[in-house]
Copies of this chain bind each other. A is one copy, B any other.
Amino acid sequence: MLKFDEAKFLKKGTDALAIRSEVEKIVDGICAKGYKNIFFVGIGGTISYDWQIESIMKSMSTLNYYVENAAEFTTLGNKHFSKDSLVIVDSASGDTKEVVAAVKFAQEKGAKVLGLIEKAGTPLAELVDYLVLSESNLKMYMVAYRLMYNNKEFPQYDKFFAELENLPKALVEVQKASDDKAAAYAAKYKDEPLQYLVGTGNLYGFAYCTAMCLMEEMLWMTTKSIHGAEFFHGTLEVIDRDSVVMLFKGEDATRPLMDRVENFTNTICKNVIVFDTKDYALKGISEEFRGLVSPMVMSAVCSRICAHLEEELKHPMAIRRYYRRLDY
């Protein structure tokens, strides 16, 4: 399979799961000290992960949590934020400038910051009060589920994480099963002038991130992401037979909203591409948890889409025209 290292992928998953007891220790310590509310602070890709978590917490938790764009957080502020807030930031590079500024802003007000960072020794890894180091996005879920568990929510916590041990292998199978479809999409649509990406619930942030961080930033493709319920309040009017519309269907409670988009777009458009987590077996994951892992499943599918787009477009995903090359 193109650009696919199964052993490396499995190791990344296993490594991510292996830090769970460490994450639990950190989160339990934070909960023991107490906090008034939680601020998930991110920008770009990381705020889109925050939105995924927020969507999951909405239907599960009475914790007080807020999602803030890092740059808005430091300029506009939020009256609910105080020294008793727990701030959670996530960063791959470890030096995203708006996030660094937000952490300093939060700490100056006396709040503690938990950092979920990919690289040791980076400014953010040095700056935060509590540090979780891991290359996987799973760390954010681990933290959120533990916070809920400690709030007497998500009683299936142990069962869920026991089953997650099966996830890396299941996601390998997802990648294998989705590869042909991803390849066909990339071959046919790579040069289209505009791609619409639609998601709801815990896949809205996913659609947003795929459009902006992967397609725009890394592949220089023109995109628009739109929430699947919002789609009917404007965007539908500019969709025609030749539009390219990608639907990311997951298995949380908002799935019926994506069914509507699928039914509707198929009546007016001939380029509707549906990626659906339901198409994949996910061996070892119970029905009750499938909705919770939809973002990870779709992320596995998307890794195949990107691999093929990168090849078809002959555009290495590592290059940037402007970001970190021109100041802003």
**Chain A residues with a Cβ under 8 A of chain B:** 43-45, 47, 55, 57-62, 64, 69-72, 75-80, 98, 193-194, 200-201, 211-213, 216-218, 220-224, 227, 229-230, 232-238, 252-254, 256-257, 260-261, 263-264, 267-268, 320-323, 326, 328
A70 to B260, CA, bound (A): 15
| Of the residues B69, B233, B264, contact of A326 by C-beta under 8 Å | B264
A227, chain B: closest CB distance, angstroms: 7
A234 touches B212 (CB 8 A): yes
Contact of A237 among B217, B227, B238, B260 (CB under 8 A): B217
Interchain nearest-CB distance for A205 vs B (Å): 12
Contacts of A237 on B, CB cut-off 8 Å? 216-218, 220, 320-323
Q: In the complex, A79 Cα to B54 Cα: how many Å?
A: 12
Which B residues touch A260, using CB under 8 A? 328
> Quick one: which of B59, B77, B229, B267 contacts A77, CB cutoff 8 A?
B59
Q: Which 5 A-B pairs have the closest CB atoms?
A: A44-B233, A212-B234, A71-B229, A217-B234, A216-B234
Q: How far is the CA of A35 from the CA of B181 in the complex (A)?
A: 50
A233 touches B212 (CB 8 A): yes
State the number of copies, please: 2
When the two chains form the complex, which single residue of B72, B79, B221, B252 contacts A62, counting CB atoms closer than 8 Å?
Answer: B79
Q: Are A254 and B222 in contact (CB under 8 A)?
A: no
| Bound: A69/B80 CA distance, A | 22
CB pair A213–B234 under 8 Å, yes or no, is yes
State A309–B79 Cα separation when bound (angstroms). Answer: 40
A218: B residues at CB distance < 8 A: 237
From known contacts A69-B227, A220-B238, A263-B328, infer whether A233 and B213 are also in contact, taking CB-CB under 8 Å. Answer: yes
Residues of B within 8 A of A232 (CB): 44, 323, 328
23 contacts between A and B (CB under 8 A): A44-B230, A45-B233, A58-B77, A61-B79, A62-B79, A69-B229, A71-B229, A72-B229, A75-B256, A75-B257, A76-B253, A212-B235, A217-B233, A217-B236, A217-B237, A232-B328, A236-B322, A237-B321, A237-B323, A260-B328, A261-B328, A264-B322, A264-B326
**Could you list 7 further interchain pairs (A-B, Cβ under 8 angstroms) beyond the known A222-B238, A237-B322?**
A71-B254, A71-B257, A76-B254, A213-B233, A216-B234, A236-B323, A268-B326
The residues of B that contact A230 with a CB separation of less than 8 Å are 43-44, 47, 69, 212
Verify A72–B257 contact, CB threshold 8 A.
Answer: yes
Nearest-neighbor residue (CB-CB) of A221 within chain B = B238
A200 CB contacts on chain B under 8 angstroms: 71-72
Whole-angstrom distance from the CB of A323 to the nearest CB of chain B?
6
Nearest B-chain residue to A261, judged by Cβ: B328
Check B268 against A322 for contact (C-beta < 8 Å): yes
Q: How far is the CB of A37 from chain B (nearest CB, A)?
A: 10
- Whether the pair B43, A229 counts as a contact (CB closer than 8 A) is yes
Contact A44 B234 (CB under 8 A): yes
Q: Give A74 Cβ to nearest chain B Cβ, in Å.
A: 10
A75–B253 CB distance below 8 A: yes
A222 to B238, CA, bound (A): 6
Smallest CB gap from A209: residue in B: B234
Hey, which chain B residues are within 8 Å of A220, CB to CB? 237-238
